[in-house]
Structures are given as structure tokens and as C-alpha cells.
Amino acid sequence: MLKMVRFYGSLAAVVALLSGVSFAQSGEVYKSKCQMCHGATGLADTGAGKSMKVKPVTDPDVKKMSEADMITVTTAGKGKMPAFKDKLTDAQIKESVAFYRSLGK
């Protein structure tokens, strides 16, 4: 019985750590590739964000975009935003979009 408790306790700890790593990685990709324009909090309050008139994550037009729409924009680019299809993996794009969307909540 004690072995089962230890096993499941260890398994739960590993799962928790791995899910935390995934979220941390998405934050790291966001920080290195997106934050310079979209800002640390998603408010586009950086010099680059202001000069390019990037909409903040709280803007109604941004809030109504689906995750799939944001992934498409990030992958293909739009306006002054460059395409990241050759710079990031699909998983990194999806994680970065999820991180960005979490800033608006």
C-alpha cells in the first residue's frame, strides 16, 4: 500500500513539473519573440508596440479573435507583424498564443 502511495505521489509530482515546464517555455518564447512589440503584460506599451500601433490584448478586436485566428496570424504574419512559420515550431506558436491570451484574462 505504501509503495502505491509513493508511486502515485511521484507520478503526480512529475506531471505537475512537466506541465509547469510547458507553460514556462511558452512564456520564454513569448518573451524572446513577442514581448518587444506586444509588451510584458500584452498591453503593447513598448516603444515598438506604440510606434506600430499594436493593439493590446484587452482590445475588443483582439479579444474576439479565436485561438485559431491568432495562430494563423502568428504563423503567416499580418500587417507589420512578421510571419513566424520559419522561426518557431507549430507547438511554440500555439504555446505563445496561449500565453498571450492568458495575459488578457
Q: What is the pLDDT of residues 63-78, one digit of tens each?
A: 999 999 999 999 999 9
**HEC per residue, the chain:** CHHHHHHHHHHHHHHHHHHHHHHHHHHHHHHHHCHHHHCCCCCCCCHHHHHCCCCCCCCHHHHCCCHHHHHHHHHHCECCECCCCCCCCHHHHHHHHHHHHHHCC
Domains and CATH numbers, the chain: 23-103 (1.10.760.10)
Span of 24-28, 29-33, 51-55, 63-67 with lowest mean pLDDT: 24-28
Residue 105 confidence (pLDDT): 86
**pLDDT tops 60 at residue 90:** yes
